[in-house]
Amino acid sequence: MEVGSHFSPDYAGEKIPTLERILELTARSNVGLYLEAKSPGKYPGMDQDIANILEKHQASDDVVVLSFDDEWVNAYRKTASGSRVGLISWWRGSMPSSAEAAVVDVFWAAVILDPTLIRRAHNRGAQVAVWTVNSPRLMRLMLLLGVDGVTTDYPNRWNMVRESKK
């Protein structure tokens, strides 16, 4: 599927990269990836496909597989033992049902509305990521609050903000 021309004529002909292509591009970098399984119930066997690709590329440690679907995340964890999993939600008033979740991924406002969320997640060994944060000012606030990562349309901005805090 061609997607580049939507952004600029300069990108005409660009296609959505496959998971394998993304893993090839990031293999020699120090980049961790969040892979969201969207509507996994619509795609039987997707859990095994993801697990096979991550194993083939020896990327299980570098990729956290996340979904809004708690049941699917728990099933995926059993399919791909050793893979890191995470749960996505608008707001986590309570911690995820999966005790094995490596990441709690919430809408950014949740960490402002519930100042204990980050500490509670960290106390149980989970990282906290927030989505979607595109403003450098909001990125700085998220860092000050203690988030571990962000989903953003501008990863270069996130890298610059993180580097400026060191």
C-alpha to C-alpha distance for 5 and 22, rounded to whole angstroms:
20
Residue 11: partners with Cβ closer than 8 Å, 6 or more residues away:
4, 5
pLDDT at position 85 is: 92
C-alpha to C-alpha distance for 153 and 131, rounded to whole angstroms:
10
- Length of the chain as a residue count: 166
Reported as a single tens digit per residue, the pLDDT across 32-90 is 789 999 999 999 999 999 999 999 999 988 899 999 998 999 899 889 988 899 989 88
Residue 165 pLDDT greater than 80, yes or no: no
Q: pLDDT class for 7, splitting at 50, 70, 90? A: confident
Residue 97 pLDDT greater than 70, yes or no: no
pLDDT at position 13 is: 93
pLDDT at position 92 is: 66
Tell me which range, 19-23, 77-81, 160-164, is most confidently predicted by mean pLDDT.
19-23
pLDDT at position 82 is: 80
Of 69, 66, 71, the closest CA to residue 86 belongs to 66
- Please list, residue by residue across 107-134, b when 16 or more beta carbons sit within 10 angstroms of its beta carbon and e when fewer do: bbebbeeeeebbeebeeeebbbbbbebe
pLDDT at position 96 is: 53
Residue 157 pLDDT greater than 90, yes or no: yes
Q: Tell me what the mean pLDDT of segment 143-166 comes to.
A: 90
pLDDT at position 95 is: 56
> How many Cβ atoms sit within 10 Å of the Cβ of residue 34?
18
Reported as a single tens digit per residue, the pLDDT across 101-142 is 889 899 999 999 998 999 999 998 899 999 999 999 999 999
Q: Tell me what the mean pLDDT of segment 10-39 comes to.
A: 90
**Whole-prediction pTM:** 0.83
